Amino acid sequence: MEREATFDRVEPRSPLVDPFHRAITYLRVSVTDRCDFRCLYCMAENMTFLPKREILTLEELDRVCSAFVERGVRKLRITGGEPLVRKNIMTLFRLLSRHLDTGALDELTLTTNGSQLARFAGELYDCGVRRVNVSLDTRDPDMFRTITRWGDIAKVMEGIRAARDAGLKIKINTVALKGVNEDEIEDMMVWCHDNGMDLTLIETMPLGEIDGDRTEQYLPLSMVRARLKERWTLEDIPYKTGGPARYVQVAETGGRLGFITPLTHNFCESCNRVRLTCTGTLFMCLGQEDAADLRAPLRASESNGPLHDAIEEAIARKPKGHDFIIDRRHNRPSLSRHMSVTGG
């Protein structure tokens, strides 16, 4: 308790604003690079994961997150890998929930593959989580096994039901994959809306070496939207969740459909986000390699002064936007690191 009190006694610092006058109000935090799936577009099947000594403890993650909350971050999203495979992960949620109680934080949420939701949905709600994103690219059991390699769709569906029963709102995230699930998108949308869930479609992102050719997976969402408009009435709406998705209302279903388009439409002009990896590396942009080491100042001093200084220096380098591109000529990713390292 003495140690925790020391962290809280820090001189007030100004809110974080980047060089382009964008307030940084959203922190995405990867708590592990490990996952119980091996999705085709995300990971190679035989991954080498980080040694434990390099990964921040749950207490260290709380300390960094709390420093960002002190600087004006209003939304925390816990990610991975798969965040719910991290041992004792609910300890972190319980620690961070105090910022909801004080009003310093507007939202504490997570992105998950759903495999562990049946175990944790009730605890998540008790910790103040009210909304979760579930990554689900298909409802077909055979296709699900093909995409995830190791996944069991029955566990995911059980998790979604448990989350809804616990009172959590759910948004389904679906990566649009050419020749894989593009024919299921309409059915996925109808299923989501029939069950009171939003759906967000995501273009595959050129991150990390994978088994196979990512250029063959790329499906422009501009094409998907044009196809949907042939049958459905899509009305642009100003709805926002704090992330990069642009939403439409589907008149016939009454539900919301989001589009995240890092390749066909750069969404960087309003970026309010930074990403912390499980090793304490801060990426100011998902699509750039520039990063800041927060683990060193975190572990070098019990005072948060050096940590705040490192955060300020990093935000001062936040770029205007990313440089994602599908490299069809050389068949290589824009960046070598996997999405599971940075956080989904």
The Cα–Cα gap between 289 and 118 comes to 36
Flag whether 72 is marked binding.
no
Flag whether 275 is marked binding.
yes
The Cα–Cα gap between 248 and 259 comes to 8
Flag whether 17 is marked binding.
no
Flag whether 273 is marked binding.
yes
Flag whether 77 is marked binding.
yes
3-state secondary structure the chain: CHHHHHHHCCCCCCCCECCCCCECCEEEEECCCCCCCCCCCCCCCCCCCCCHHHCCCHHHHHHHHHHHHHCCCCEEEEECCCHHHCCCHHHHHHHHHHHHHHCCCCEEEEEECCCCHHHHHHHHHHCCCCEEEEECCCCCHHHHHHHHCCCCHHHHHHHHHHHHHHCCEEEEEEEEECCCCHHHHHHHHHHHHHCCCEEEEEECCCECCCCCCHHHCECCHHHHHHHHHCCCCEEECCCCCCCCCEEEEECCCCCEEEEECCCCCCCHHHCCEEEECCCCEEECCCCCCCEEECHHHHHHCCCCHHHHHHHHHHHCCCCCCCCCCCECCCCECCECCCHHHHCC
Flag whether 91 is marked binding.
no
Flag whether 268 is marked binding.
yes
The Cα–Cα gap between 344 and 13 comes to 29
Flag whether 111 is marked binding.
yes
Flag whether 274 is marked binding.
yes
Q: Which residues pair with 79 in a beta bridge?
A: 30
Flag whether 149 is marked binding.
no
Contacts (Cβ under 8 Å, ≥6 apart) of 122: 162, 166
* Encoded tokens for 199: 């759906």
Flag whether 65 is marked binding.
no
Flag whether 127 is marked binding.
no
Q: Which residues pair with 202 in a beta bridge?
A: 175, 260
The Cα–Cα gap between 297 and 55 comes to 14
Flag whether 192 is marked binding.
no
Residue positions in the annotated binding site for [4Fe-4S] cluster?
35, 39, 42, 268, 271, 285
Give the residue ranges of the annotated binding site: 28, 35, 39, 41-42, 77, 81, 111, 135, 171, 205, 268, 271, 273-275, 285
Which residues line the annotated binding site for S-adenosyl-L-methionine?
A: 41, 81, 135, 205
Binding-site positions for GTP read 28, 77, 111, 171, 273-275
